Chain A
C-alpha cells in the first residue's frame, strides 16, 4: 500500500523547475506532501483532497488525479532552500482510515 514516488533523486540549478510524482495502487481520499531537510523533522507543504480541495502553501503547487490515483508536486523557479527530501503521504478512500502511508521520498538538491 506504500505509494511509489519518482524520481528517487533530482539535482537542479537554482531557478530550474522540477516535478515529483506519487502514485498509488489503491483509491485515495487524500495526498499529503512534506519536505524534510537533513537532520530535521518533516514539514507540511500541502494536502490535496478528493473532490479538488487543496490546503497548503501558496508558493507550492500540486495536482491530484483521483482516477489515476496519482499526485504531482510542482516546484518552479527552485531556490537553494528547496533542497531536501520530499515525501508524499497517502490516505486511502473508503472508511475511517485516518492513516498516512508515506512513500520512500525524493531527494531534491538545488545547486547555485
Chain B
C-alpha cells in the first residue's frame, strides 16, 4: 500500500489554464504539506494543514489554493498557470507538525508551456 499518493504524476498544460493536484495519505497522520521543488532542486514549503486547519501559509501567489476535505486528503488547485509554476510538487504528511518525520509522496511534475 502506498503511504502517500499523488495524482497525476505528470501534468503538462498551457499558460492560463487551471489545474488541480490531489494527495492522499493512509498513515493516519494529522498533518499534511505541499512543497514545491524547482529546477535547481530547491525544496520550499508552501502550505501545511493540521487536522484540516491551515497552519502554514507561505508567501505564494494567491493563484495557489489548498483544500483539505478531511485529514487524509490535501489538494492543491492552481489558477491561471504561469511558466514559472513549472516544478515538481510534493505532498507530505507527518504524525503531527512538531518535529516528526515527514513522509513524501512521489511528486507531480508540472510543466507549463
Q: Which residues of A contact B (CB under 8 A)?
A: 29-30, 32, 34, 36, 40-44, 47, 49, 55-56, 85, 87, 91, 96, 98-102, 104-105
Contact = CB atoms under 8 A, between A and B. Distances in A.
8 contacts: A29-B99, A32-B102, A40-B107, A42-B104, A43-B104, A98-B55, A99-B45, A102-B44
B99 A40 contact: no
B101 interface: yes
Interface of B: 40-45, 48, 50, 55-56, 58, 90, 97-107
Contacts of B102: 32, 34, 44, 100
Q: Does more than half of chain B's interface fall in helix, strand or loop, or is it mixed? A: loop
Given A100-B102, A102-B43, A42 B90 contact: yes
Given A41-B107, A44-B101, A44-B103, A98 B44 contact: no
A85 B106 contact: no
A104 B102 CA distance: 18
Contacts of B103: 44
Nearest to A33: B101
A98 B56 contact: yes
Contact of A99 (B40, B56, B101, B105): B56
Contacts of A98: 48, 50, 55-56, 97-98
B22 to A, nearest CB: 16
A85 B102 CA distance: 17
A100 B45 contact: yes
Contacts of B105: 41
